[in-house]
Amino acid sequence: MIRWIPALAVLGIVLAILGAVLFPAALGGGGLLALGGAIVAQAACVLLTRIGPLSPRRADPVVIRIGAVTGAVTGLLYGGEIVSEYVSSAVTDASVALGWAIVGTLVVSSMVAAAVATVRLRSIRAGLTAAAYAAIAEYLVWYPFVLGAYYAMRHSASLERVWRAEGTYLDFARSGMSDIRAFVMQDFWGAGFFHLVAGLIIAGLFGTFATLATRVAQRLLTSPAAP
């Protein structure tokens, strides 16, 4: 198992719980359930990489490294974009377009990991495993950036700029809550669960496509030419 996976999961859990300390009002109105979902998602990453088909006992270490490294790089890019939104108004203004670009990057990450692993081991299982590891690693690297940036910038003027660009004020007005910081905290807890689910779905769909396409290409390239 990639040793930094459980370390990042623990960090994610600690940061999620810290949100309840900084914004205790976030625990109300379903917030406790959202926090629990974020914690469960972090724990699930560890369990998925220790038990079953993704465990080191059943998955090739080369495949694990391919997926984990690809996902970690994607997570760093995504996390860097989040931090940049607080630092640069130009990045903030382009946050919607960048958001779609990030979604595209998640898709490409899964496909690249799956294709490379399939080429290396000539195995469909290898491609699917690498895509799953890419999704898990991306999520674990990304989530501390989300929470850490919010906590660090919670008293800065740039926070309001980010909220305006992302439509947070409109969402807050529709929520019926009275504390916008607690509302945002709940939103981040929810993201801590659903981002992993979405990432694994993306990995399953596009990783499967990339794996099968790669195997078909391999067979076509290695099949003997007709006389």
Domain boundaries, the chain: 4-217
- pLDDT for 226: 46
- pLDDT for 95: 76
| Residue recorded with tokens 């491609």 | 127
Task: Decide: pTM greater than 0.85.
Answer: yes
Q: How far apart are CA 41 and CA 8, in angstroms?
A: 12
- pLDDT for 93: 78
Produce one character per residue of 124-133: b if its CB has 16 or more CB atoms within 10 Å, e if not. Answer: bbbbbbbbbb
Q: How far apart are CA 20 and CA 28, in angstroms?
A: 10
Backbone angles phi, psi at 86, to 5 degrees: -75, -25
Contacts of 48 (CB under 8 A, 6+ apart): 54, 132, 136
DSSP code of residue 153:
T
Q: What is the pLDDT along the chain (227 residues), one digit of tens a residue?
A: 578 999 999 999 999 999 999 999 999 989 999 999 999 999 999 999 999 899 999 999 999 999 999 999 999 999 998 999 998 888 887 877 887 888 899 999 999 999 999 999 999 999 999 999 999 999 999 999 999 999 999 999 899 999 988 889 999 999 989 999 999 999 999 999 999 999 999 999 999 999 999 999 988 887 665 45
Contacts of 86 (CB under 8 A, 6+ apart): 92, 149, 153, 156, 158, 159, 162
